[in-house]
Structure 1
Amino acid sequence: MAPQDVTKLIVRISMKDRAAFDALYRQTSAKLFGVCLRVLNDRAEAEEALQEVYIKIWTKADRFAVSDLSPMSWLVAVARNHAIDRIRARKQPASVIDAALDVADPAPGPEAKAIAGDESRRIHDCLDELEQDRAAAVRGAYLKGESYAELAERHGVPLNTMRTWLRRSLMKLRECLER
């Protein structure tokens, strides 16, 4: 169908000519459906959008201005803009952001931080009561993740001696923390 023929149909539609509307639909619906489908990526939604596009064309045909642009460009623009409007409409409103206020923060609160800081201070004070080499072994094993073998080698003691140091040091730490 030539652009002039499409222009004549749109002009006749602006005068509410149903036969012209039917002819325009038959000639252009496949192309406009493709535009809607490309934008919406959903066949059912594109079919629904296409029907709404033709309602717009029926009601707004009088706004079509005959110009150097092809009438098909105008029809495609109507379809494309309508599909984009549907995408925008499906986005959730900004009020959903308010729901984020109810999401709990997994980070410890001020009270928990104060308690943890106090506990940390108590543990370090109790570690300071241990002999220096035993405290270093406990820190290495339980704060730095060093193995018993690494600690035994660094402190120059047998492996079983290192195990004994750590077990006795932990018992002393428990006694200190229970006071």
Structure 2
Amino acid sequence: MAETSAEVTRLIQRVALRDRSAFRQLYQRTSAKLFGVTLRILKDRAEAEEALQEVFVKIWQRADRFVPGGSSPISWLVAVARNHCLDILRARRPTSETIETALEIPDSSPDPEDRTMGRDERARIEACLGELASDRADAVRGAYLDGYSYEELANRHNVPINTMRTWLRRSLMRLRDCLTG
């Protein structure tokens, strides 16, 4: 195996010098293994065969980048094949959606009529809250808009928790009457 590794190293070095005979020998010794790599990654025989040819073009162009002793020559060749196949897979994926796709996404914001109705409704709610005592209106806003618990509101207004529950229940009943009347 060491002789084979040394032989492949020698062939890559000769390919770096543009030795066509060495390139042909390198292809004969390693193409089956590299084809297996391309086929395993791409999962399509025709595409793997084409990729193998492109891999050997890269090997011809980049043989001078191989550093003997850094890694095994087969590992270097496999890395070239693997990286080329991964580039092919990346190229398959669309980079982004088209602008037409974006135009098909519905607008979830309210239309002008809904905004006007919402504004009118908020104004009615605020007017009804204005009819409550200020501490009661503050408790309703705290509970239903700010998410405070009964206990937090009771502490904030210095009243027992049951009193806070009563305030909120009665305030909601008054708000309902105001909004429906």
- TM-score, normalised via structure 2 length: 0.58
Change (3 A) 1:93 1:172: same
Task: Give, in whole Å, the separation in 2 of the partners of 1:153 and 1:81.
Answer: 65
- On the 8 A contact 1:50/1:79 being kept in 2, the answer is no
In structure 2, what is the equivalent of residue 13 of structure 1? Answer: none
- How far the C-alpha of 1:174 sits from its partner, in A, is 1.0
- On the 8 A contact 1:49/1:82 being kept in 2, the answer is no
- How far the C-alpha of 1:170 sits from its partner, in A, is 0.9
Task: Give, in whole Å, the separation in 1 of the partners of 2:93 and 2:131.
Answer: 62
Task: Give, in whole Å, the separation in 2 of the partners of 1:107 and 1:32.
Answer: 55
**Structure 2 spans left out of the alignment, 5+ residues:** 1-6, 66-72
Return the match for 2:134 from 132, 135, 139.
Answer: 132
Q: Does 1:52 align with 2:65?
A: no
Q: How does 1:2-13 map to 2 (within 5 A)?
A: 2-3=10-11, 4=14, 7-8=20-21
Task: Give, in whole Å, the separation in 1 of the partners of 2:154 and 2:86.
Answer: 70
AA in 2 matched with 1:98: E
Change (3 A) 1:163 1:50: closer
Change (3 A) 1:49 1:141: same
- How far the C-alpha of 1:85 sits from its partner, in A, is 5.8
Number of matched pairs: 155
AA in 1 matched with 2:50: E
AA in 1 matched with 2:147: G
Task: Give, in whole Å, the separation in 2 of the partners of 1:87 and 1:110.
Answer: 46
Return the match for 1:159 from 153, 158, 161.
Answer: 161
- TM-score, normalised via structure 1 length: 0.59
- On the 8 A contact 1:141/1:151 being kept in 2, the answer is yes
In structure 2, what is the equivalent of residue 42 of structure 1? Answer: 41
Task: Give, in whole Å, the separation in 2 of the partners of 1:156 and 1:81.
Answer: 70
Change (3 A) 1:33 1:148: same
Identity percentage of aligned residues: 47
Change (3 A) 1:9 1:112: same
- CA-based RMSD of the aligned residues comes to 4.2
